[in-house]
Amino acid sequence: MIKIFKTEQDFIHFHLTNSSTIGFVPTMGNLHDGHLSLITKSKQDNEVTVLSIFVNPTQFSASEDLLNYPRTLEEDIQKASAIFKESDNKTLIIFIPENEKVIYPDNFSDYVTVNGISKVSEGAIRPTHFDGVATVVKRLFKIVQPNKAYFGKKDFQQLVIIEKLVLDYNLGVEIIGMPIIREKTGLAMSSRNSYLSAEQKEAALYLCQTLNEISKIIKESTIEEANKLIAEKVKDKRFNYLEIRDPKNFEIVEQDLSSVVILGNLQIGKTRLLDNLEVNK
């Protein structure tokens, strides 16, 4: 069964009679196979899946691409619906807020900052981005009341921040981190890839190639050697950052290479591309 909800009231009615487990997949739309993998997993795990499609203004800074962000609502509804067959006996609720006030009512004041983690790496180049992400996710959790919520490791830092948000506010939602879905070339799928020309897509592969190079050094050698390679790589000013961090607390790794994540952001034209690679030694 497929339903479209547009208001908080729709959920208030729904929660009155629903006793099934709810899996939640928050997105900004322009769905690709990365998003669809989260929806598919939620469908496996839960009776009800809520997919939200909302281009959240608070996570964009004034100079970013809020107005131009790709919006493909009809295709999105089709792609998500195609995962749910009548015989599955599972429900998909597509939550498309009818306007911004559904999420941010007049006099809304519950803005959230997850201190520390939000201000490094991606947060260092986008200082208000994760405040907007944490704020919208907290608000969406209040509306949707999910048992589980599914996030892609494509946005690894975001995942760690959401896990911290859930602990800070005791939100009682189980957070599931899902693997990065890539194109055959290795390029991590992203809605922002649609901004790239064929040539730029080719150039973008340098990001995942670099992550793989660093991963090899980590596996075969020392942190000093890995950092030496990073120091060489970041001479290329297209790298907005390139770092090795602890996947749990997001601290910079000093010594212990047993479990790390390499994170990078590469500037291709006007587009900042994000990718990461987890390494276990």
Q: Which of 146, 267, 119, 142 is nearest to 200 (CA)?
A: 267
Q: Which of 54, 26, 20, 47 is nearest to 38 (CA)?
A: 26
**Minimum gap (Å) between residue 174 Cβ and ligand AMP:** 15
35 versus 148: smaller Cβ distance to ligand AMP:
35
Residue closest to ligand AMP (Cβ): 152
Site of interaction with ligand AMP (CB under 6 A):
27-28, 34-35, 37-38, 151-152, 154-155, 178, 180-181, 188-191
**Minimum gap (Å) between residue 237 Cβ and ligand AMP:** 25
Residues in Cβ contact with 73 at an 8 Å cutoff, skipping those fewer than 6 apart:
29, 53, 96
**Minimum gap (Å) between residue 52 Cβ and ligand AMP:** 9
188 versus 208: smaller Cβ distance to ligand AMP:
188
Order of strands, edge to edge, in the sheet holding 2-5? 2-5, 91-95, 48-53, 22-27, 148-152, 174-178
**Minimum gap (Å) between residue 152 Cβ and ligand AMP:** 2
**Minimum gap (Å) between residue 1 Cβ and ligand AMP:** 23
Catalytic residue among 13, 15, 32, 35: 35
In this structure, the strands spanning 259-268 and 239-245 are antiparallel
Give the E-state strand segments of 74-124 in sequence order: 91-95
CA 59 to chain CA centroid, nearest Å: 12
| Angstrom distance (rounded) from CA 118 to CA 126 | 9
Does the annotation mark 129 as catalytic? Answer: no
29 versus 242: smaller Cβ distance to ligand AMP:
29
**Which run of H or E residues covers position 39?**
helix 33-45
Q: Which of 210, 269, 273, 209 is nearest to 243 (CA)?
A: 210
141 versus 217: smaller Cβ distance to ligand AMP:
141
**Radius of gyration, CA atoms only, the chain:** 19
173 versus 188: smaller Cβ distance to ligand AMP:
188
Q: Which of the residues are catalytic?
A: 35
